[in-house]
Every structure is written in C-alpha cells, then in structure tokens.
C-alpha cells in the first residue's frame, strides 16, 4: 500500500506517531506536514493578524502541494489526519487520480476547527473516528456511509519508560498527582474540588488555556504551559498518579469524551493511571488491576487519597497497565488494523 499522509510531524504528535507506525507495518509512506504551509503557532499579536490575512494563501499552497505529490508519489490512499486545511477539490483530485481519500478524525467535534472538515467529510471513502459516538455523528450530520471506530494508541517512540530520571527532572516534574491536558470548565471544577478536599496534595497541571481558570484552589498548581514529546513521557513517569479527566460535551458532538489519547499514553509510558469511569473506559483496562477509576470529583479525591496511601497496590496496577498497553494498545496495532481494513474494503 502506498500512502500519502497529511498531518503534523512535531515530536509527540499523534499524527506523526500513526504515520511512522504505518511505515513499520510495511506501507510506503510520504508525508506532507501542514505546519510547513499553515502558520498555527504564532503568539505575537501582530503576527496573528498577519497570519489571518494570508491564511487563505497558505491553505492554497498546502493543497497545491498535495495535488503535486499525488502526481509524483502516485499513492493508493490519501490518509488525512484531522484535515482542517484540506479542501474538497483536493479530495476530488485525489480520487480522479486513483487515490482513495481516507480521514482519521481524532477529536470530539467536527465543527470546531473551521469550515473545511464538515465540507470534506461526505467526500471521504472511509472515515476512522476515535470516538464511538463519532460513527453516529458522522452518519447523521454528513451521511458518511463508511465510518469506523478505532481508538487512539500510544507511540512507542515517545510514550516509553526512561531507564534513568535525574534529580533535576524529578524536581521539575515530580508530584503526587498531575493532569496533563487542555483546560475546560469541567476539568477546572473537578481539580478545584480535589484541592479543596486534599489541600496538602502536590498537584501539577500542565496544558494549554489554563490561564482561563479562576478557581483559587488550583492557581498554584497550574504550570502555565503544555508539555509534549519526551517531556510529556517524563512528566507521566515523575507523577505518582496520572489523572484521566475527560472533556465534556461540546458543540457539534453528541457526547463528551469516553476515552482519549491519554487513556493509552499514560500506561504506555509506564505511569499509574487514575481514569474517569464510564461504560467504555473500563473495556480497555481492568479496574483495580490495570488502572484505577473514578466517577465524579468526590470519588476522584477519594481515590487519589487511597492510592497515595497504598503504594504496593499502585505499583502492581501500574506494571499491569503497562503490560496491557504493550500487548494491545500501541499505534502499531492501530496501523496494522487500518491497513488490513483498507485492504479488506478496497473499494470504499
């Protein structure tokens, strides 16, 4: 299989991890990184204004590069990861040149990343969604006939245990518990509840948008920046308990998260995971054997206190969770499934 992959390649990117796994699975891979064409990381106010003014030109350049590469690489499959800047005409061009357009969609909502994703979804031959409810959403909103669920996985290049962690790293990242992820009102509320009931807890919060948080109880816990790549894996291993608090329902989705990429990153990196309990999350790890679980902020605080007081149980669960991740939940397993599924459904 010859696959032209579209998505970011920065170290720790879920897209880049999947593309490398596809290569290890035997596919011929070419990658176009949208970050080469579309400016997404500008912080300066003037730069942001300038970027908005030229965004349409950047998107046009990106899509021109896709069409050019289709003609030279001659892929069987155009694998689009998320696809916020892929245009409908580019997908039609791919199909006209013998290349199946396939979407891998990793997010909760299809409507929060601009107009192009909703316009393109009906055109894809196959849509893989990391949300079980995404299948229904894709069908009801866009009439997508071929929507399949596939969960996230951990990247063995990134989410792996380190043989040695120095004192300096432990000073920076060490804590009783951590949450690594983007701010949301629910996450702020639940973490504030934890700190109000466990005021001596050493909690660290990493991620984007936590400047929006107003709860006084967590202000000293907010680290003020995201962490990615090796630092992300390092922080997981330096945290005694890694919290899996899920995103709430947002516009354009029929449900909030049930699992997320952290569901697999944390055990993959050999961290102890305390994950929000629901009908789906408990299917991947056995409760009190491969992960801890909680339902709501009150039980979250109780479970943190419990596992801090029982290090032997915590260590047993951590090791078993890591073994489960290695056995079942790597991106290599996901890539092998996708390649087999595309071969089995060769005509979309």
The domains found in the chain, sorted by start residue, are 2-153+330-344 (3.40.50.2000), 167-328 (3.40.50.2000)
Residue 239 contacts residue 173 (beta carbons within 8 Å) = yes
Task: Supply φ then ψ for residue 74, to 5 degrees.
Answer: 55, 60
pLDDT in tens, 243-302: 999 988 777 777 888 999 999 999 999 999 999 999 999 999 999 999 999 999 999 999
Q: How confident is the model at residue 105 (pLDDT cuts 50, 70, 90)?
A: very high
Q: Rounded to an integer, what distance in angstroms lies between the CA atom of residue 190 and that of residue 172?
A: 24
Q: What does pTM read for this prediction?
A: 0.93
pLDDT at residue number 143: 85
Scored b (16 or more CB within 10 A) or e, 32-41 reads bbbeebbeee
Element (H, E) at 32: strand 28-32
- Identify the pLDDT of residue 106: 92
Q: What percent of the chain has pLDDT over 70?
A: 98
Backbone Cα Rg of the chain: 21
Mean pLDDT for all residues in the chain? 94
Average pLDDT score over residue span 21-45: 88
Read off the pLDDT of residues 67-88 as tens digits, 9 standing for 90 and up.
999 999 999 999 999 999 999 9
Question: What tokens does 51 get?
Answer: 């970027």
In this prediction, residue 141 carries a pLDDT of 87
Contact by Cβ (8 Å): 180, 232: yes
Q: Work out the average pLDDT over 133-153.
A: 89
38 confidence band (pLDDT: 50, 70, 90): confident
- pLDDT grade, residue 40 (50/70/90)? confident
Least confident of 65-79, 107-121, 190-204, 267-281: 107-121
**pLDDT digit string, tens, across residues 1-17:** 999 999 999 999 999 99
What pLDDT sits at residue 347? 56
Whether the pLDDT of residue 36 is over 70: the answer is yes
Distances (CA, A) of 137 to 109, 127, 132: 9, 12, 9
DSSP state of 177: E
Average pLDDT of the residues in 230-235: 97
pLDDT of residue 159: 97
Query: Which of left, alpha, beta for 200 (phi over 0: left; psi -120 to 50: alpha)?
Result: alpha
CA–CA gap between residue 231 and residue 61 (Å, rounded) = 33
CA distances from 204 to 199, 235, 236, 331 (A): 13, 10, 11, 28
What is the β-pairing status of strands 126-129 and 100-105?
A: parallel
CB atoms within 10 A of CB 289: 13
User: DSSP 3-state assignment of 28?
Assistant: strand
Task: Give me the mean pLDDT over the 37-52 stretch.
Answer: 75
């Amino acid at each position: 299989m010859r696959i032209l992959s579209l998505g970011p390649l920065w170290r720790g990117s879920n897209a880049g991890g999947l593309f490398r796994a596809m290569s290890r699975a035997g596919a011929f891979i070419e990658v176009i990184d949208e970050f080469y064409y579309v400016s997404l990381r500008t912080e300066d106010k003037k730069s942001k204004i300038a970027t908005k003014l030229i965004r349409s030109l950047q998107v046009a350049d990106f899509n021109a590069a896709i069409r050019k590469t289709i003609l030279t690489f001659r892929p069987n499959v155009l694998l689009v990861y998320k696809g916020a800047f892929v245009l409908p005409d580019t997908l039609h061009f791919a199909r006209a040149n013998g290349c199946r357009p396939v979407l891998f969609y990793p997010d909760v909502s299809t409507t929060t990343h601009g107009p192009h994703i909703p316009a393109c979804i009906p055109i894809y031959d196959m849509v893989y969604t990391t949300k079980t409810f995404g299948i229904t959403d894709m069908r009801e909103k866009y009439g997508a006939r071929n929507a399949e669920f596939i969960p996230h996985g951990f990247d063995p290049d990134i989410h792996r245990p380190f043989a040695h962690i120095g004192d300096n790293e432990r000073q920076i990242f060490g804590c009783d518990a951590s949450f690594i992820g983007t701010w949301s009102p629910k996450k702020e509320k639940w973490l504030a509840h934890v700190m109000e009931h466990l005021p001596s807890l050493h909690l660290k919060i990493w991620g984007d948008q936590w400047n929006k948080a107003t709860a006084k109880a967590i202000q000293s816990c907010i680290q003020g920046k995201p962490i990615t790549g090796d630092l992300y894996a390092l922080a997981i291993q330096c945290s005694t308990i890694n919290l899996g608090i899920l995103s709430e329902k947002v516009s354009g989705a029929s449900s909030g998260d049930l699992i997320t990429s952290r569901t697999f990153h944390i055990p993959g990196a050999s961290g102890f995971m305390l994950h929000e309990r629901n009908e789906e999350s408990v299917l991947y790890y056995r409760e009190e054997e491969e992960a801890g679980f909680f339902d709501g902020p009150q039980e979250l605080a109780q479970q943190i206190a419990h596992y801090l007081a029982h290090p032997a149980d915590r260590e047993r669960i951590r090791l078993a969770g890591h073994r489960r991740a290695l056995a079942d939940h790597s991106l290599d397993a996901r890539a092998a499934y996708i390649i087999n599924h595309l071969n089995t459904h060769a005509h979309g």
